[in-house]
């Protein structure tokens, strides 16, 4: 295809950031015939050792799988993951109660992020590790790089399109901030996270592996995700002021004895005391911005455009969906970047802003609502109605996790469904009360009268 008198095979696309979204983007552009250069400031994550305290296992769901499928990578990634078909709720007394995600067969897959670096399967895609962005210009599309070498040598690249996939603290996005009419907001939530490792027991998982394990404690929670090496990565989410109260190993044990007693023997007392202080609690940020593009020269995707807190498990999936949405618009607009980029902004911004808000909401659901009898009742009502009316009533979690219904449309539909269902429950409850009152009035119960003398004699016979 051609755009601006230049065929795709003659065009250079520079992808800044070689993480999950950057690597997948490289695949999308390479399969279209573009010359793709991916620049990553870090070492090759496929060769790096695991760094404790930083999650490398993520929940892959329908949106992400669809994006991987289009470039023939779904099976390769999913085959190396662990399916999770339910949440497993751990109560204070040690009782475990599963809450299925959706219908049978609807699962999320816990995958390792290093599996996604597959751009080099295309001969026209090149990965450049240890390359740090120094300066770039949206006018001349000129990139200057400082390589990660002792002499600090620089190189430049003339590109037709820059794709910013360099994370929540994006260097590419800084250029956007210098321009007028660019909206940007950054919100740190008052909660942080800290990671612990639950080792295998006798070479097997210490808990059932095919679940997202959750210890909800109203104002904070702990979760556990399975890893291929039979460990679990446990993540404690809690307000920073609560983290600051725990300063010694004894404080750690006292805290876990009170709130997570069943996890202590599984993690191990000494390991718990050591891992807890290995790194300080990490912050979580939610970022929104718009527009996502500068003219026909640069576009933002993934966390660079919309960093979200991790509580809906949609950060990676939303980033992957950015890639497939952009690719679909490329088809619609015949690869004309001057039309593709503004259309991508128009389509994607409302959805990404919505998932950022939903991720905030889901934290409250995970740490508090799952303990509520009303929440569990409503979930069962929703599931029954979804079974009876699968096209009319669809739970919000199902729409977000197991379909590609646009995020903002899913939220609008959820609000409508809630209104209808709550009104229906109110009508049913009112009908039950009125019906019961009518039956009592029509057929009053017979009450046997007892002479007052017998009542008095009975009271006197009681021993005080």
Distance CA 66, CA 84 (A): 18
pLDDT in tens, 343-368: 999 999 999 999 999 998 887 766 66
Is the pLDDT at 117 greater than 60? The verdict is no
Out of 260, 282, 304, a domain closes at 282
Is the pLDDT at 186 greater than 70? The verdict is yes
Only one residue has tokens 């044990």, namely: 253
Is the pLDDT at 149 greater than 70? The verdict is no
Out of 367, 386, 415, a domain closes at 367
Closest CA to 348 of 376, 371, 377, 327: 327
Is 352 in the same domain as 377? no
What's this model's pTM, rounded to 2 decimal places? 0.85
- Rg over alpha carbons for the chain, rounded to the nearest Å, is 28
* Range of weakest confidence among 319-328, 365-374, 393-402: 365-374
* Range of weakest confidence among 186-200, 265-279, 414-428: 414-428
Is 242 in the same domain as 328? no
In 172-323, DSSP assigns E strands to 183-198, 211-216, 221-226, 232-239, 282-290, 293-294, 298-300
Residue 329: what pLDDT? Answer: 98
Bin 72: left if φ > 0, else alpha if -120 < ψ < 50, else beta. Answer: left
Residue 166: what pLDDT? Answer: 94
How many distinct structural domains can be found in the chain?
Answer: 3
Residue 464: what pLDDT? Answer: 45
Is 51 in the same domain as 178? yes
More confident residue, 161 or 459: 161
8 A C-beta contact, residue 385 and residue 421:
yes
Is 152 in the same domain as 62? yes
Only one residue has tokens 């949405």, namely: 325
Is the pLDDT at 114 greater than 70? The verdict is no
- Sign of torsion over alpha carbons 24, 319, 59, 104: negative
Is 130 a domain residue?
yes
Is the pLDDT at 234 greater than 90? The verdict is yes
Is 297 a domain residue?
yes
Is the pLDDT at 158 greater than 50? The verdict is yes
Is 432 in the same domain as 294? no
Q: With residue 320 as reference, give the H or E element that holds it.
A: helix 315-332
* Range of weakest confidence among 70-84, 130-144, 227-241, 419-433: 130-144
Is 322 a domain residue?
yes
Beta bridge partners of 89: 97, 214
Residue 91: what pLDDT? Answer: 93
Confidence band for 115, pLDDT divided at 50, 70 and 90 = very low
More confident residue, 148 or 266: 266
Q: Which residues of 320-343 are buried (b: 16+ CB within 10 A; e: fewer)?
A: bbbbbbbbebbeebebbbebbbbb
Is 63 in the same domain as 192? no
Is 452 a domain residue?
no
Distance CA 445, CA 255 (A): 54
pLDDT in tens, 4-24: 556 667 899 999 999 999 999
Is 461 a domain residue?
no
Is 66 in the same domain as 200? no
Is the pLDDT at 2 greater than 50? The verdict is no
Residue 53: what pLDDT? Answer: 45
More confident residue, 15 or 57: 15
- Sign of torsion over alpha carbons 365, 405, 62, 166: negative
Q: What is the largest CA-CA distance in the chain?
A: 109
Residue 152: what pLDDT? Answer: 59
In 64-182, DSSP assigns E strands to 82-84, 86-90, 96-100, 108-112, 125-128, 131-137, 142-147, 154-158, 161-164
8 A C-beta contact, residue 39 and residue 14:
yes
Is the pLDDT at 463 greater than 90? The verdict is no
**Other residues' Cβ atoms within 10 Å of the Cβ of residue 171:** 18
Which residues fall within 8 angstroms of residue 61, CB to CB, at 6 or more apart? 108, 109, 313, 314, 317, 401, 402
* Range of weakest confidence among 20-24, 100-104, 447-451: 447-451
Rounded mean pLDDT of 331-335? 96
Rounded mean pLDDT of 394-420? 93
Residue 173: what pLDDT? Answer: 94
The percent of residues above 90 in pLDDT, for the chain, comes to 58
Is 164 in the same domain as 15? yes
Is 232 in the same domain as 149? no
Is 331 in the same domain as 424? no
* Range of weakest confidence among 185-189, 190-194, 376-380: 376-380
Closest CA to 65 of 6, 109, 12: 109
Is 22 a domain residue?
yes
Residue 101: what pLDDT? Answer: 81
Residue 459: what pLDDT? Answer: 61
pLDDT in tens, 31-54: 999 999 999 888 776 665 554 445
Rounded mean pLDDT of 220-235? 94
Is 95 a domain residue?
no
Distance CA 174, CA 73 (A): 32
Is 94 a domain residue?
no
Is the pLDDT at 116 greater than 60? The verdict is no
Q: Is 22 exposed, middle or buried (0-12, 13-18, 19+ CB in 10 A)?
A: buried
Closest CA to 214 of 368, 44, 326, 361: 368
Confidence band for 201, pLDDT divided at 50, 70 and 90 = very high
Rounded mean pLDDT of 387-393? 86
Closest CA to 97 of 377, 361, 371, 382: 371
8 A C-beta contact, residue 305 and residue 186:
no
Distance CA 194, CA 53 (A): 7
Is 300 in the same domain as 404? no
Is 410 in the same domain as 270? no
Distance CA 218, CA 70 (A): 40
User: In terms of residue numbers, what domain contains 213?
Assistant: 188-282
CATH of the domain at 141: 3.50.50.60
């Amino acid at each position: 295809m051609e755009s601006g008198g230049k065929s795709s095979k003659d065009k250079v696309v520079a992808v800044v950031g070689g993480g999950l979204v950057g690597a997948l983007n490289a695949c999308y552009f390479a399969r279209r015939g573009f010359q793709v250069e991916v620049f990553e400031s870090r070492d090759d994550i496929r060769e790096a050792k695991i760094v404790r305290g930083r999650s490398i296992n993520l929940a892959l769901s329908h949106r992400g799988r669809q994006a991987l499928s289009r470039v023939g990578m779904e099976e390769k990634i999913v085959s190396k993951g662990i399916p999770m078909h339910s949440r497993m709720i751990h109560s204070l007394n040690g009782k475990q109660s599963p809450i299925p995600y959706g219908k049978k067969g609807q699962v999320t897959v816990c995958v390792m992020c290093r599996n996604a670096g597959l751009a080099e399967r295309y001969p026209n895609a090149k990965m450049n590790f240890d390359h740090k962005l120094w300066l770039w210009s949206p006018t001349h599309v000129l990139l200057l790089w400082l390589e990660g070498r002792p002499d600090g040598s620089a190189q430049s690249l003339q590109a037709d399109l820059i794709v910013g996939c360099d994370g929540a603290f994006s260097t590419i996005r800084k250029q956007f901030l210098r321009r007028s009419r660019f909206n940007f907001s950054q919100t740190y939530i008052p909660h942080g996270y800290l990671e612990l490792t639950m080792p295998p027991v006798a070479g097997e998982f210490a808990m059932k592996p095919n679940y997202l394990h959750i210890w909800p404690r109203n104002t904070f929670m702990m979760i556990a995700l399975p890893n291929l090496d039979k460990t679990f990565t446990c993540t404690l989410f809690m307000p920073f002021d609560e983290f600051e109260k725990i300063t010694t190993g004894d404080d750690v044990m006292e805290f876990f004895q009170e709130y997570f007693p069943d996890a202590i023997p599984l993690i191990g007392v000494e390991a718990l005391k050591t891992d807890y202080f290995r790194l300080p609690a990490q912050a979580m940020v939610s970022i929104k911005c718009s527009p996502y593009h500068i003219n026909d020269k640069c576009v933002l995707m993934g966390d660079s455009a919309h960093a979200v807190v991790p509580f809906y498990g949609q950060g990676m999936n939303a980033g992957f969906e950015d890639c497939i949405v952009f690719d679909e618009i490329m088809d619609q607009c015949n690869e004309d970047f001057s039309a593709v980029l503004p259309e991508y902004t128009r389509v994607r911004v409302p959805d990404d802003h919505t998932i950022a808000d939903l991720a905030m909401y889901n934290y409250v659901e995970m740490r508090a609502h799952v303990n509520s009898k009303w929440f569990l009742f409503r979930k069962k009502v929703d599931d029954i109605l979804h079974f009876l009316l699968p096209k009319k009533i669809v739970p919000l979690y199902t729409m977000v996790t197991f379909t590609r219904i646009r995020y903002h449309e899913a939220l609008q539909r959820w609000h409508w469904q809630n209104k209808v269902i709550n009104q229906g429950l109110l009508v049913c409850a009112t009908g039950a009360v009125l019906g019961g009152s009518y039956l009592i009035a029509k057929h009053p119960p017979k009450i046997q009268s007892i002479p007052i003398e017998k009542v008095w004699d009975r009271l006197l016979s009681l021993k005080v």
